[in-house]
Amino acid sequence: MLILVRHGQTDANARGLLCGHVDHPLTDLGRRQARALAAALPRPARIVTSPLGRARQTAAVLAGDRPVEVDERWIEMDYGRLDGVVPTDVDGGTWTRWHTDPDFAPPGGESLAAVGKRVREACLDLADDAARGDVVVVSHVSPIKAAVAWALGVGDTAVWRLFLGDAAVCRIDTSAPVPVLRCFSSPA
C-alpha cells in the first residue's frame, strides 16, 4: 500500500497561507499530530519524505530509529511570488487561469502539470514496493493530490476539487492492474 501522509500543522497552514517552498516548522499541534500518526500507522517497509523541514519533522517521528529517504519529487509546489500569500489576496484572473490551465505557473513558480509529472514518476518508482509492503510518503497538499489524480487517472486540474487536511492520510493500493484509491484525507 502506498500511504501518503500530509505533514502536521504549521503556523502558516493554520493561518491559511499558500505554503510552497518556504519552510515553516511544525507547531505544537503539528508535533502531536505526527505522534498520533506514528501510533496509528503500520510499520512500513519504507519511509520517504519531501526535503522540506515540516515533512522531514513528521517523517522523523513516524520513522523512530528507522531510516528516512528524502525524495525531491515530493516537495510542495513552488508558488513563486505567491508563497506566503493568503489565497483570497490572489487576483481572480490568476485563480481562474491557475484552475483551468494546468500549464500555468504563477510568477516565479511551478505549474500543476510540472507537479503532476514529477509526482507520477515518483509514484511509478514506488508502486512495485508498495504492492508488496507498506510505503509511507510524507509530503504536502499539492503532491499528494497529484498522486491521487494519478491513481484515479484524471487530469491535473482535478486536484482543485480535493481538500486535504493537516496530518491527513491517503491510501493507494498499487497491487491491482491499475492503482486504486482506498481512502482520501482520513485520519490515520
Residue 112 phi/psi, 5-degree rounding, is -60, -40
Cell numbers at 185, concatenated: 484525507
Residue written as grid cell 503532491: 143
Is residue 134 annotated as involved in ligand binding?
Answer: no
* Residue of 24, 76, 110, 140 marked active site: 76
Is residue 21 annotated as involved in ligand binding?
Answer: no
7 counts as catalytic:
yes
Is residue 149 annotated as involved in ligand binding?
Answer: no
Distance between CA atoms of 82 and 48, rounded to whole angstroms?
27
Q: Is 173 helix (H, G, I), strand (E, B) or coil?
A: strand
76 counts as catalytic:
yes
Is residue 9 annotated as involved in ligand binding?
Answer: yes
Is residue 12 annotated as involved in ligand binding?
Answer: yes
Is residue 8 annotated as involved in ligand binding?
Answer: yes
Distance between CA atoms of 76 and 126, rounded to whole angstroms?
18
Distance between CA atoms of 35 and 8, rounded to whole angstroms?
10
Distance between CA atoms of 153 and 139, rounded to whole angstroms?
20
Is residue 78 annotated as involved in ligand binding?
Answer: yes
Is residue 28 annotated as involved in ligand binding?
Answer: no
DSSP 176: S
Is residue 155 annotated as involved in ligand binding?
Answer: no
Is residue 110 annotated as involved in ligand binding?
Answer: no
CB atoms inside a 10 Å sphere around CB 155: 12
Is residue 99 annotated as involved in ligand binding?
Answer: no
DSSP per-residue letters across 73-85: GGSPP--GGGTT-
Binding residues: 6-13, 54, 76-79
Binding residues for substrate: 6-13, 54, 76-79
Give the residue numbers marked as catalytic.
Answer: 7, 76
